[in-house]
Each structure stands twice: as C-alpha cells, then as structure tokens.
Structure 1
Amino acid sequence: MKQHEDVHTLAAAYALNALDTGEREAFAAHLDDCEACRLEAAEFEATAARLAAAAAQPPPASMKERVMSSIDGVRQLPPHLSATTRAVRPRGVLRDRAAAFAIAAAVAAAASFGGLAAWQYQQGERARQQAVQAEERLRDISAVLTADDARTVRGRTTNGAATTVVASRAHDMAVVTASGLPAPASGRVYQLWLDHDGTMLPAGFLRGDGAVLVEGDTSDASAVGITLEPAGGSEEPTTTPLLLMPMPG
C-alpha cells in the first residue's frame, strides 16, 4: 500500500480492479471517510465499463504494474463538488484526470484486444471444424463411389441437368451427382428428398454441379427426389419434383 499521503492516487487503480487484496481493502476503508475519492472511483468505474462494454475481459497480470507506474507521483485531486463544498478547482486537476482517464482507456483497449483475440481463435476453430467435416464428407463420398456393391441410377432433371444416384448398401449411404444444373433463382435452393413409403423426408441440399452425400437413412428409402425450395429448405416439398429416381438396389 502506498504512503497515506498518496492514498488519493489509488482511485483509478481501485476502479479498474488493479490493486492487490490488501490495498483494495485498505482503500475501501478509506472510501468510508472520503467523499471525493468515492466520487472519483465511481466516475472511473463508469468510464471503464462504457469503454470495455463490447469486450469485457479480466485485466492482464502486468496491468497493475503499468497502472501504478503511470500514476506514480500524480495526485488525483477530488472531483468538482458543489459551490458550498469547493469554489475553485486547483490548476492541474484536468491534467491529472485526463491521465487517469487515459489509463482507463488503456485498460479498455487491452480488454478489447483480448476480445478480438478470442474472436479470432473462435473463427479459426470454426474453420478447422468445417475443414474436418468437409474431409469426412469427401471420404464418405469416395467410399460410396468406389464400393464393391455400388449401384447407379441415371436420370435428367426437368431443367436439363444430368443426374445420378449411387448407393452402397454395405455403407448404408448414397451419393447424388449433378452436371449442368442451372443456378437457382434468388432465394431458392435445390433440396434433396428421400421417399419412405410415400413420405418425403429432407435429405440435404444440392449446391450445384458435383457430388453430395445424401443425408438421412437410405436403407429403406425407395427413391430420391430433387425440388426447388425457399432458401433454408422446407420440412416437406412445396414444389413439383424436378426429378424422382428410384434408389439403386
């Protein structure tokens, strides 16, 4: 804890939670008897909260040392009180308050940087997971297309795309391929369906030319269909199928 004559300089560090336990308890006791420091600490707390609201993070361990060295020897005089309490603000108070607010801004900037780093880490993790999932899908597609028991049915959609369904009972999976598939209108997507005893169940989306793994249980599906649906897909077909092909057996 600093010498008693410098206790007023701890308002900013107290508001920013940069004091150790002993210092914080001592300054909290000092606040009971010092209205000026109570007001000062409250102002710093409000400022730090506004600056760091977008990305609140605990201050790093080195923050206390930087805060204390920045305010060392700079006395934070009490804030402006009513005319009956104080008539004149001593010269230099604005400078001292500006320094303290700069410290609060530095803490908020550090917190924001920490939030940005966390966001970047999350984005990197999401990209990694997507890459892993894409690799798994490619592996499954390859397994179906090269399976010893692979069976193929070919067809053509009503809008002219050459389409095939390749199924492997051993892998219990199916793949749909398309070539020459026109881009859907804005706000529309190509959706796949599996026919289970007359009930069409969603089975994923066909993004364009290429191959896609059919989602859902293909073991007892009798057919695969393709429709144009609103973006995001539908729970059941809302348009006439562009194609309905029997599931290869």
Structure 2
Amino acid sequence: MTTAELHTLTGAYALDALEEEERLAFERHLARCESCGQEVRELTATAARLGLAASLPAPPGLKVQVMGRVAEVRQQPPDSPDSASASRRRGRVMRWALAACLAGVAALGGTTLWQYQRADEAGHEAREARAEADRVARVLSAPDARMASTDVDGAGRGSVVVSRGQDEAVFITSGMAEPPEGKVYQLWFADGDRMRPAGLMNPSRTDQSVPMTGSVGAASAVGVTLEPAGGSEQPTTSPLALLRLPA
C-alpha cells in the first residue's frame, strides 16, 4: 500500500472500519505522520459527537437547507498554509464532517448539532448532554490522545482514548449487546491489582462514547464488567475486557 493510499484511510480508521492488515499498516504510518494523526483525532471527535446524539425530531426543511448550503460552505484553511497536502486533507475532514452531520439528521432523526441549537429549549437534559459531548470531544481532539481497541467478550467492540495531559479518558463502544435485565456494563480504572469505578454505560445503547469518571492518574488499564443495575463499588464479575492504556 502506497503512502498516498494510506493518507486516505483516516476516516475508516477513526470509525474502526479497517481490516486487520490495513489497520496495522495504517498504524505504522500514523506513528510518523503528524497530519494524519491530527485528522484522525478530528474525525474521531466528530464521530463521537454524532454517537451522543439525542433522539429529537429534526426541524422541517432542515435537510433541504443543509443540501442547499453544501456548495456554499467555504473550507477552513489548514493550520500550515504552505502545505498543499495538509490543505487537501483538511478539506476532506470538513466535507466528511458535514456529510456525517447530514446523515445523522436524515437517518437518526436528530443529532448533537440540533441538540446544541435547541439546548435552552430542551432544558437540563440537553445541557448535560452538551457538557458530556464537549468533554468527549476535548479528550478525543487532545494533541496527546492515544487509542487502544479490543473485543468485549460476547458483547461487541470497545476502544479507550486517553489523554495524559488532560488526565481524562473516553470509552467508545460499537455493536454492544444489550446487558441482561437488571444488569449494566461498568467501567473501571485498573491501578495495578486494584480496580476503581469509572462510570456506567447506557444499557439501552449499542454504540456510545462514555467520558470515564475520575482521573486517569497512574492507571495502567481499563476494564469492563457486568454489574447489578446502579453499579458496584468493586467488580463482582470477571472483566469482559481489559485494555492496557496506551502510553
């Protein structure tokens, strides 16, 4: 695979949609390509915002308005004006983000963008969702953000994104199985052999981005267990997944 081809895989990588061979090749490229790293962080943050969308009805005519403005949207210039390749990649980011927002409005019946515009009307729930989305985006777009992924035993796919500078982490899931009635997936920070609670996942959502509670601190790994509704002070089951936090 050529370097030019690798540059085009940022979106698929951010959505965890690459085959294993492609993912390994791209990660080797990513380790030495700063512009692709920035693009992956931006796309991952956009995907996470869409994943936090509330199920609110889109206003009449919104799709028509967005489609009508697509050709008029001016692309944001890159951070390095002297880099033509960076400009092309930044253009792809903006086009992808706009397309993703439109797809979310059309297919899901509401997006975080719409939620933001109507936050005052939606009240306390919308303000909490906005704060959560901002925290997720802050971590995913941090310059030092690093990601690790694994299968969650019998339950789907999980990824953890950590920013040591922010001292925060976000857990992202896709295709998670619904937990048994009266149970919930709980997140944990692992400090050596000690596990400390780091938040609960929404049992009704298969795809979600969860800002983990508490500081990362000296944690070396993140765990996922199945716990009674409301969570536990200490794990009561063996971890369904244990992800070593990237350095």
Output the TM-score relative to the length of structure 2: 0.48
Larger Rg: 1
Output the TM-score relative to the length of structure 1: 0.48
